[in-house]
Structure 1
Amino acid sequence: MASYPKPALALVEAMTQAAAADPARAVAFQGAPGANSHRAANEMAPGGLPLPCFSFEDAMDAVREGQAGMAVIPIENSQHGRVADIHFLLPESGLSIVGEHFIDIHAALMGLGHGPFTAAYSHPQALGQSRHYLRNKGIIPLSHADTAGAAAYVAELGDPTIAALAPRIAAELYGLDVVEDNVEDAHDNTTRFVLLARKPLDVETIDGPAMTTFIFEVRNIPAALYKAMGGFATNGINMTKLESYQTGASFAATTFFCDVVGKPGERPLDLALEELAFFANNLRILGTYPQTRARG
């Protein structure tokens, strides 16, 4: 908790105490109060108790250790791609994805006064989503652990030449002036969040379209991925996401992170996964959950 800027500490302490009194209702999120993840937590679990955590690992650990019933984690952004390290952290956490949620992301430039500003703090993802704006204004991007925390840090610094990029609510929480709204480069900027829990969702309880997320590994040999993916094409499975990343230093095998429309128990997906398991190693389902936005 000491890693938060001082203006955020009182809010963090109050939320932490409320969550400790009823951990089953607690919803862990990464960031200081007022972050986009805080907003996502309120929208995904309206009856929950938001629990601020300094890092993604801390939020996942809170669920694993029973300090929270769920965690809300951003996984990808429409403009800036996947959130750094999430593809590594999700499988390592041992938690299951039980829901997804999309929110429109809008950033405000805020500070102590109205500038001019020489630099702006924010989460690296938010800085990337506003890189053209910052470049045009001659503002140097500076990394911070999260967006709302950046606003709290700017309030703590007391330097009128340093700004923050954060949700507008952060300015209200930390006493900053909003200089300009909606400074993101793309105004249809959207982030996808996932809801994590200790136990997977019972697929029989899912009415309507479902999403299934899984990882698998293939050897770096000719046509390995083509063979692994063949079953999804022949069985008519809509694959909406396929990303590769390396685990370990050998570079002998590649891990893939995949989303498909469907759920285990449906024959087309069962057949596709069965064929995938024949050609791939370490197939692991990370979760099956209701689809909240149509794909395709």
Structure 2
Amino acid sequence: MGQPAAKTNRISFQGTLGAYSHQACVEVFPGMEVLPCATFEDAVASVWEGRTDLAMLPVENSTYGRVADIHHLLPESGLHIIGEHFLRVHINLLGVPGARIGDVKAAMSHTVLLGQCRSFLRENGIAARTGADTAGSAEIVAATGDRSLAGLASELAGEIYGLDLLARHIEDQKNNTTRFLVMAPEPDNAPQGGDVLTTFVFRVRNLPAALYKAMGGFATNGVNMIKLESYMVDGQFTATQFYADIEGHPDDPAVARALEELRYFTSSLRMLGTYPAHPYRREQEHERLAQGVT
């Protein structure tokens, strides 16, 4: 993904410096400054307020599924998806300068990361200590100066807070990956052709089998829907909104026909973005084919 024309040359993310969202920003836009924000809403607001040009938002993780509340935020943010990024979540044991693995008696991190390193912690007799987040835990460890306390976080966090890398890539699952969306105030529709994704949200009309009929247009037109998720709206069990990712451009004839049929069975339809598919998708597909998985 090329770096867009910038006004501030800054990109926002939720978390503290050294968070995995920060790492995603650096990987995709190494020339941009970053703005850490306390919440996802703050990250979005920074774009609308002109303090940043873009926001980097995590939407799902291969181990833990979708990020809580993010599907509610995306449609209401008023921002547009202009790209996606897949980040391999490597977990590292970070200690104060001079510490060794044998010195460490406890490791601090977000509860999710602690759960992903159970084998390593057990094998090394290290107790788990819950922290507010990953990078914040690394910052706390650095401030204590205690060799018996380490943090579990990204290598970037270790560099930022001056910690030593005691053990690399200690996660139990070696394929743990988080998908991020790059959000901008204006759409940057990918050109037709090539690997393109389109994301939208919709609500079906109150008709018998409305969802089944709405999806039929994608099947009959040969449009591949790679994600369909539902979630309640405004806490109402009867108000359901659907989030969908499809392959293709809205101007592709087949996609246009499928969307036209979808509109007939929906009470609302909001396009969130058309953007290039990340190469990671094809890499995963090639791996599955090589393993004989369909």
TM-score (norm 2): 0.82
Asked whether the 8 Å contact 2:82–2:189 carries over to 1, the reply is no
Q: CA RMSD in A?
A: 2.6
Q: 1:252 to 1:159 in 2, by over 3 A?
A: farther
Measured in 2, the distance between the counterparts of 1:185 and 1:255 equals 35
1:9 equivalent in structure 2: none
Match of 2:290 in 1: none
Equivalent position to 2:218, from 221, 232, 238:
232
Q: Deviations over 1:46-102 (max 9, x none)?
A: 332222222222211111111111111121122221122211111121100001112
Distance 1:100 1:159 in 2: 39
* Matched residues, number: 272
Contact residue 220 and residue 252 of structure 1 kept, 8 A: no
Structure 2 residue 38 is the aligned partner of structure 1 residue 54 = yes
Aligned with residue 291 of structure 1, among 248, 252, 277: 277
Rounded to whole Å, the distance in 2 between the matches of 1:222 and 1:161 is 62
- 1:164 alignment counterpart: 151
The C-alpha deviation readout for 1:168-213, integer Å capped at 9, x for no partner, is: 231232133333221222112222111100011134x455221011
Evaluate the alpha carbon distance shift between residue 131 and residue 252 of structure 1 in structure 2; reply closer, same or farther with a 3 A threshold: farther
* Contact residue 206 and residue 290 of structure 1 kept, 8 A: no
Tell me which of 42, 52, 66 is aligned to 2:50.
66
Alignment partner of 1:249 is 2:235? yes
Q: Structure 2: any 5+ residue segments left out of the alignment?
A: 1-5, 286-294
Give, as a single letter, the amino acid of the residue that structure 1 aligns with 2:247: V
Matched, 1:140 2:120: no
Distance in 2 separating the partners of 1:71 and 1:53: 10
CA distance in 1, matches of 2:200, 2:44: 18
Alignment correspondent of 1:182: 169
Distance 1:26 1:231 in 2: 40
Q: 1:91-149: per-residue Cα shift (whole Å, max 9, x none)?
A: 12110000111222201122344454345222x5534544565577663352424x222
CA distance 1:207–1:272, shift in 2 (3 Å): closer
The one-character-per-residue Cα deviations of 1:19-45 (angstroms, maximum 9, x if unpaired) are xxx853111122222222222112222
Question: Kindly, what percent of the aligned residue pairs are identical?
Answer: 49
Query: Could you say which residue in structure 1 is the equivalent of 2:250?
Result: 264
Structure 1 residue runs of 5 or longer lacking an equivalent are 1-21
Q: Evaluate the alpha carbon distance shift between residue 125 and residue 211 of structure 1 in structure 2; reply closer, same or farther with a 3 A threshold.
A: farther
SS at match of 1:24: coil
Give matches, 1:1-296, under 5 Å. 23-112=7-96, 113=99, 114=101, 115-118=103-106, 120-122=108-110, 125-130=112-117, 139-140=127-128, 142-145=130-133, 147-158=134-145, 160-203=147-190, 205=191, 207-218=193-204, 223-293=209-279, 294=281
Q: Is the 8 A contact 1:121 1:144 kept in 2?
A: yes
